[in-house]
Amino acid sequence: MNQPDEPPPFLGTWKRVYTAVLIYVAVLISILYLFSAATAP
């Protein structure tokens, strides 16, 4: 029998946690892109 999903320790639901991680990655890649552009001669 399937056990019910244990909730995450923050943000309430796993869906919100996954969304937060994906937004974080998008921001991180954008920062790296800006870093590349800023350090290019």
Partner 1 sequence: MKPLDWVVLFGWLTFLVSYGLWRGRKSGTVNDYLLAGRTMPWYAMGLSIMATQASAITFISTTGQSYVDGMRFVQFYFGLPVAMVILSATAVPIFHRAKVYTAYEYLENRFDAKTRALVSGIFLIQRGLAAGLALYAPAVVLSVILGWSDQTTTILMGSLVVLYTTTGGIKAITWADVQQMAVIFVALILALFMAIHLMPQQVSFLDAVTLAGAFGKLKAVDTNFDWNNRYNLWSGLIGGMFLALAYFGCDQSQVQRYLTGKSVAQSRLSLLFNAVAKIPMQFFILFIGAMVFVLFMFVKPPVIFHPVEMGRITQSTEFKPVEDRYNAAFEARKQAAQHYLDAKHRGETLPADLEALRSTQKAFDTARQDGAKLVDKVRGSSGFNDTNYIFLSFVTNYLPAGVVGLIIAVIFSAAMSAVSGEINSLATVTVIDVYKRHFRKSATDRHYLWASRIATVFWGVYAVIFAGRGGGFGALIEAVNMIGSLFYGGMLGVFVLAFFFPKVGANGAFVGVLAGEAAIFAANRFTSISFLWYNVIGCLVVLATGVLVSKIETAKYPR
User: What residues line the site for partner 1 (CB under 8 A)?
Assistant: 2-3, 5-9, 14, 17-18, 21-22, 24-25, 28-29, 32-33, 35-36, 38-41
Query: Shortest distance, CB of residue 22 to partner 1, whole angstroms?
Result: 6
Distances in whole angstroms, Cα of residue 13 to Cα of each of 19, 20, 21, 36, 38: 10, 11, 13, 35, 37
Question: Per the structure block, which two tokens stand in for 30?
Answer: 């954008």
CB of 10 to partner 1, least distance (A): 10
- Please, what is the minimum distance in Å from the beta carbon of residue 21 to partner 1? 5
Compute the distance between CA of residue 31 and CA of residue 37 in angstroms, rounded to an integer: 10
